[in-house]
A and B are shown apart, each in its own frame.
Chain A
Amino acid sequence: DIQLTQSPSSLSASVGDRVTITCRASQSISNYLNWYQQKPGKAPKLLIYAASSLQSGVPSRFSGSGSETDFTLTISSLQPEDFATYHCQQTYSTPPLTFGGGTKVEV
């Protein structure tokens, strides 16, 4: 199985901050890396697919980068509605498709 390691597991930030979350794969996954945002009691919502493509309707303050084993999700200026948990997911390998452990962004 391909393991995804997210860091940090949680972070404290303020409105207006630039936030960076990393996701490292245990082997090369090309650009088959997606990012989701999840708010408490809600289903995950797709933000970024194929490492750097912004899902329709997602604000441009969100961006993704990276390839092979190292990936980054950046929020350029944190807004109040961005306090949530962020998950990375790889869709490169045959089963299983795996998720990272999540990063909680809190005040």
Chain B
Amino acid sequence: QVQLQESGPGLVKPSETLSLTCTVSGYSVGSGYYWGWIRQPPGRGLEWIGSVYRSGSTYYNPSLESRLTISLDTSKNQFSLRLSSVTAADTAVYYCASSHDYSNPLGDWGQGTLVTVSS
């Protein structure tokens, strides 16, 4: 089974860049699957952020695309999220997850990490 673990700063200042990494075990990120990020503001629903495929192809939520970069690091078996120019509205629990294909469900999830945007 694929295991995922998010890591990164829990506090980011407004206007700065939020950076998170998801470390994968049990599967090589370069072998296949889509690797994605999802977030959940406190007390609210889930929002799909975007995904990256083993080729490096990316799929972004249009509402975040102008501020978003998702990338793959096969040497470390990780994938990463960078979200620039953050505001308080970006405060959320951020999850990384995987699916067998773009149109497949998210079968494996990380435990999530809370990122707070505050000065």
Given contacts A34-B105, A43-B111, A49-B104, contact A95 B45 (CB under 8 A): no
Classify the interface of chain A: helix, strand, loop or mixed: loop
CB distance from B83 to the nearest CB of A (A): 15
Query: Given B48, B50, B99, B111, which contacts A99 in the complex, CB threshold below 8 Å?
Result: B48
Tell me if B118 is interfacial: C-beta within 8 Å of chain A: no
Complex-state Cα separation, A29 to B6, whole angstroms:
31
Q: Does B61 contact A (CB under 8 A)?
A: yes
Within 8 A of A (CB), among B16-75: 45-48, 50, 59-63
Number of interface residues of A (CB under 8 A): 25
Q: Which residues of A contact B48 (CB under 8 A)?
A: 89, 95-99
Q: Please state if B112 and A91 are interface contacts (CB–CB under 8 Å).
A: no
What is the chain A residue whose CB lies nearest that of B107?
A: A46
Task: Check B14 for interface membership: any CB of A closer than 8 A.
Answer: no
**Total contacts A to B, CB within 8 angstroms?**
59
Q: Are A49 and B103 in contact (CB under 8 A)?
A: no
Residues of B within 8 A of A42 (CB): 111-112
**Is B106 part of the contact surface with A, judged by Cβ < 8 Å?**
yes
Complex Cα gap A102–B40 (Å): 11
Does A89 contact B45, Cβ atoms closer than 8 Å? no
A87: Cβ under 8 A from any B Cβ: yes
Chain B residues in 8 Å Cβ range of A91: 99, 102-105
Inter-chain CA distance A94–B62, complex, in Å, is 10
Q: Are B61 and A96 in contact (CB under 8 A)?
A: yes
Q: For chain A residues 6-63, which have a beta carbon within 8 Å of chain B?
A: 32, 34, 36, 42-46, 49-50, 55
Interface residues of B, Cβ cutoff 8 Å to A: 45-48, 50, 59-63, 95, 97, 99, 102-107, 109-112
A-B pairs, top 4 by smallest CB distance, nearest first, are A43-B109, A34-B105, A99-B46, A96-B61
